[in-house]
Structure 1
């Protein structure tokens, strides 16, 4: 297992998509976005058409990170390639989508606080891939997969746009917001008070003048603000926080967050109907997840069952791990999805 490179039986093409939906976005982030397309072994040697799995990342994720290598481990693109090369699953095209923002993430939603990343994915990336590659261009042959905020994106995108995606995999996806988000509110309120006079604008102005992470609290503060920009921005782009200066819930804003909780979305008729249409739903999380997303995964599994999705279409597992370094879970999920969207 070499630490600096790995050969692929297939190949990865590095492309750029010019997005009209992201042009002029509120944060001034690039509207020309990298897209990585991984074609399976044998793609160039036939006229075969393939199912597609769209792979999205967690908070602060961007497509350049798929090249990252750590000692004694292989990055996910190599793990997925090995699955297809060994014939362990029907071959599929993998599409790595970039939805990074200068706040660190978008939650794959359309928001006046960040931009139209949900529409970018569904209405621009998917048609572009179908036009550029030999895909099975129908929702029953498309899946979406992600971890953490990417797992959140997989859940909500499948529920919001079931005509686009017919299967999903969520690895420790954000869910059950009262456990995964709310416990951080008092701590963030305290940090804002002690370091920035209670002002998020003061934090944002400060953090942009220095290397990120050089002060305690940088990660939590930017992450929570990015969530607020995705879930509770006003039409003019004003970002509303779901808690006050004491960390207490602001009910009218918190309701907007809860409306986007996958567990509660699945309990609504539109979400339940979308889930019933899925050909496959993979749900997993580490049983020591630091953000209690194992509990969120369990709650979403129950919501999927309550929606009426047959057990044979669902794979659920809690495994021995925390939140990080679970990339080894992605390839088995992709293989399982590929089997169900191939035909």
Structure 2
């Protein structure tokens, strides 16, 4: 297995989406965002052929260039996807790699007054940008979204919010069942804030701005929780409310705002249940040793999908022996399944 890049059977084009929706966002992040578009083998051979599209989104702290990071003895997902189309009977599709990074590490692909309009940017700017430039089948029945972790979260909620845009989804270890995956960490974050920053997130953020991220052991834990809060409980003045107090206890009025964005709870609501029933295909998986217990979130989401009335033949559910990281080998399995269901 080569430790450097390999030649693709298809090709990847790089572009820039100039987003009006992200212009002037509260964090001052760029409104011009890179987008990578994979075109499958044979795309240039038949100028009249159109293709389904799978939008691929990343986990927390992910940005689009990281798709090409190469770990020892492993291949990055764009190469695995290319091999899938080149060597199997998977129907060809365009794969779009979307960037939704923010200065706090991520957006959860939601519209938030504390981060910016990343949900609308995806649905109302990135999708039309791709449809205008490539030979897509430009309708929701031929359009899917897939991701892992926070990207898996975005893949669950985006089709529920916009079933007119996306007609299929794949979530790998997506954030769900918030009282299991998030709430147990509140006490640990409260302790870190107390011991290192007198209980103040403002003090942490001020300290972080003056040095390199990661030079303190607590940096990642603290910024990650703040990033989630910026997405789920950002306020109209761009401030961020935390869902726990100085002793790690839940603040009910803020926690309820988080729970309203939990895919498991969203799926119970009639309008979102209807959106799930409208999906052509739903892939749900997670590792049985996931450190954030997102295997429980996957199971809980699967149960609500079933309760919503989604036929069993439209759903693929699987728990596999793995932790949270290094599960990129799972993505081509879902990609193939989605392509068969979008064609």
Aligned equivalent of 2:297: 296
Distance 1:251 1:137 in 2: 42
Aligned equivalent of 2:24: 24
Aligned equivalent of 1:187: 188
Distance 1:61 1:210 in 2: 21
Number of aligned positions between the proteins: 342
Distance 1:99 1:74 in 2: 23
Deviation at 1:226, TM superposition (A): 0.6
Deviations 1:141-184 (A, max 9, x none): 00000000000000000100000000000000000000000000
Deviation at 1:5, TM superposition (A): 1.2
Answer yes or no: is 1:36 the counterpart of 2:33: no
Unpaired runs of 5+ residues, structure 2, are none
Aligned equivalent of 1:92: 93
Deviation at 1:88, TM superposition (A): 2.7
Distance 1:26 1:231 in 2: 15
Deviation at 1:261, TM superposition (A): 0.1
Distance 1:79 1:282 in 2: 18
Deviation at 1:2, TM superposition (A): 0.8
Distance 1:265 1:231 in 2: 13
Deviations 1:238-289 (A, max 9, x none): 1000000011000010000000000000011011000000000000000000
Answer yes or no: is 1:141 the counterpart of 2:142: yes
Aligned equivalent of 1:150: 151
Aligned equivalent of 2:75: 74
Deviation at 1:87, TM superposition (A): 3.2
Aligned equivalent of 1:220: 221
State how 1:113-192 maps to structure 2 within 5 Å. Answer: 113-192=114-193
Deviations 1:92-151 (A, max 9, x none): 000000000000000000000000000000000001100000000000000000000000
Deviation at 1:211, TM superposition (A): 1.6
Deviation at 1:322, TM superposition (A): 0.3
Distance 1:326 1:115 in 2: 29
Deviation at 1:340, TM superposition (A): 0.5
The alignment partner of 2:44 has SS state of helix
Aligned equivalent of 1:199: 200
The alignment partner of 1:295 has SS state of helix
Aligned equivalent of 2:103: 102
The alignment partner of 2:33 has SS state of strand
TM-score, normalised to structure 2's length? 0.99
TM-score, normalised to structure 1's length? 0.99
Unpaired runs of 5+ residues, structure 1, are none
The alignment partner of 2:227 has SS state of helix
Deviations 1:26-64 (A, max 9, x none): 000000000000000010111210000000000000011
Distance 1:280 1:37 in 2: 22
Distance 1:220 1:303 in 2: 30
